[in-house]
Amino acid sequence: MNKILFVVSEDWYFLSHRIELAKSLIEDGKEVFLVAQVGKSSEEIEKEGIKVLPWKLKRSSKNPLVEILSINTLVKHINNINPDIVYSVALKPNIYSGIASYFVNTKRQIYAVGGLGYLFQNENKSSLQNIIKFILRSIFSKPKSKLIVQNSFDKEFFLNLSIPERNIFLIEGSGVDTNKFRFKEIKEFPCKVLFSGRLLYDKGLKDFVSLAIKFKDRNDIEFIVAGERDPQNPACIEAKVIEEWKKINNIKFLGKVNDMPKLISESHIICLPSYHEGFPKALLEGASGGRPIIAYDIPGCRSIIHENKNGFLVKFKDESSLYQKLDHLYRNPHLIKEMGLEGRRLVLERFSDKQINNQIKSILN
């Protein structure tokens, strides 16, 4: 029986983005392990037959001793499990798995990048960024390494780092359970506009709030925010700012929502004015649920939004255009269903979890 070890920073992220892949691998006869910070999601993960191994990792930490201990723990886990494949996801787990591969004989290494993230934005150029690029080039270029990216922009980025093209695989997103996220008839107004994601500046939440304020004099449109703060992320929005935004009368902050299919079915439009994405799961789930989607014209979002068909791509940080596109849907309710059904069709054609997981498994096999 082949052993596959996933390395992820947080158990909740694995539950949200990789659990269906892991379940599919178990059905294929694989033995699946997860190294991650143990939180509220670990019990649910273990119910699926996945052994969760604790890992103390702070994404925001720059303390050398803490980082060395994290790498050492990971090396011990890999030694104890002796996996056939180590499958790491996101920046720190990728780097630490790569470093660990120099101390243990990992048979095969899969690195998954869900987007370039905060560190690699143009305005954040630094010596640290150059050091990390050097490390990534070293570990991603090894013969046993395979790198999965989610959009063509990220693929080009890593090709420019001189990583061999044979090591890079483009797979668009993590897929979505189309039976769980399915179309339900759209309810009468008030129109509900949904933002789903972590409460970060670079997820575009400030832009979403500004958008809501522009509609505050209309009594038949509401703005819904589903998600929590992520204090370990440098772009996390301060708690006091969130508390001020909660005072705006046409915005509701729901916190963490466990039943996202239900919330999407109660919404009319999905809006995610994010600044950078790999392949946005929030838009994918919204499209699968048969709702039109609106986002800035950035890599990742371009893959799921077909302009004027299932939603709108808006010029980056152009809040006036963002308002105009949302207002257009608001004033033409028939387009909400038409675009939503087109989005549902697109997801069924290209982005179901079964299709995406089969693509990933072809690389693993």
| 168 contacts 133 by C-beta, under 8 angstroms | no
CA 171 from centroid of its chain's CA atoms? 13
Class in CATH terms, 3-176+352-364: alpha beta
Q: Give residue 258's pLDDT.
A: 92
For the chain, report the end-to-end CA distance as a whole number of angstroms: 13
302 vs 289: CA distance, rounded Å = 18
SS3 of 144, please?
Answer: coil
Residue showing tokens 């780097």: 95
Show the tokens assigned to 13.
């992220």
Residue 364 CB-half CA count within 13 A: 25
Name the pairing type of β-strands 311-314 and 293-296.
parallel
Name residues whose C-beta falls within 8 Å of residue 158's C-beta, 6 or more positions apart in sequence.
Answer: 113, 136, 140, 147, 149, 168
Are 3-176+352-364 and 191-350 the same fold in CATH? yes
Q: Give residue 335's pLDDT.
A: 97
CATH architecture, range 191-350? 3-Layer(aba) Sandwich (3.40)
CB atoms within 10 A of CB 33: 21
User: Which residue stretches of the chain have pLDDT < 70?
Assistant: 1, 60, 117-125
Tell me the longest C-alpha to C-alpha distance in the chain. Answer: 63
SS3 of 177, please?
Answer: coil
Show the tokens assigned to 172.
């668009």
302 vs 286: CA distance, rounded Å = 15
**Every domain of the chain and the residues it spans:** 3-176+352-364, 191-350
201 vs 321: CA distance, rounded Å = 19
Left, alpha or beta for 108 (phi > 0: left; psi -120 to 50: alpha)? beta
pTM reported for the whole predicted model = 0.91
**Segment 110-169, tens digit of pLDDT:** 999 987 765 566 555 677 788 889 999 999 999 999 999 999 999 999 999 999 999 999
